[in-house]
Amino acid sequence: MKRLLALLATGASVVGLTVLAGPPAQAATGCSAEYTITSQWAGGFQAGVKVTNLGDPVSDWTLGFTMPDTGQKVVQGWNATWSQSGSAVTATGVDWNRTLATGASTDLGFVGSFTGSNPAPTSFSLNGVACTGSVTDPTDPPTDPPATGAPADVNGQLHVCGVHLCNQYDRPIQLRGMSTHGIQWFGSCYSDASLDALADDWKSDLLRVAMYVQEDGYETDPDGFTRQVNRLVDMAEARGMYALIDFHTLTPGDPNYNLDRAKTFFSSVAARNADKKNVIYEIANEPNGVSWAAVKNYAEQVIPVIRAADPDAVVIVGTRGWSSLGVSDGSNESEVVNNPVNAANIMYAFHFYAASHKDNYRATVSRAASQLPLFVSEFGTVSATGGGAVDRASSIAWLDLLDQLKISYANWTFSDADEGSAAFKPGTCNGSDFSSSAVLTESGALLKSRISTADNFPTS
Q: Is 286 a catalytic residue?
A: yes
How far lies 266's CA from each of 207, 208, 384, in Å?
18, 16, 28
Q: Taking a C-beta distance cutoff of 8 angstroms, is the pair 116, 69 a contact?
A: yes
Q: Which position among 237, 286, 333, 442 bears the catalytic label?
A: 286
Question: How would you list the strands of the sheet with 12-17, edge to edge?
Answer: 12-17, 31-41, 44-53, 105-113, 73-78
Residues whose CB is less than 8 angstroms from the CB of residue 118 and which lie 6 or more positions away in sequence, other chains included = 37, 40, 45, 69, 72
Return the closest-CA partner of residue 455 out of 199, 164, 204, 153: 204
Residue 367: φ, ψ to 5°: -70, -50
Residues whose CB is less than 8 angstroms from the CB of residue 306 and which lie 6 or more positions away in sequence, other chains included = 266, 267, 270, 281, 283, 313, 315
Q: Taking a C-beta distance cutoff of 8 angstroms, is the pair 434, 428 a contact?
A: yes
First vs last C-alpha separation in the chain:
44
Cis ω for the linkage preceding 252 (within 30 of 0): yes
Q: Is 419 a catalytic residue?
A: no
Q: Which position among 34, 282, 378, 442 bears the catalytic label?
A: 378
**Nearest-5° Cα angle at 163, 454 to 238:** 45
Q: Taking a C-beta distance cutoff of 8 angstroms, is the pair 19, 53 a contact?
A: yes
Question: How would you list the strands of the sheet with 81-85, edge to edge?
Answer: 81-85, 88-92, 62-66, 122-126, 129-130
Residues whose CB is less than 8 angstroms from the CB of residue 180 and which lie 6 or more positions away in sequence, other chains included = 186, 189, 190, 207, 208, 209, 210, 232, 413, 414, 415
Q: Catalogue the active-site residues.
A: 286, 378
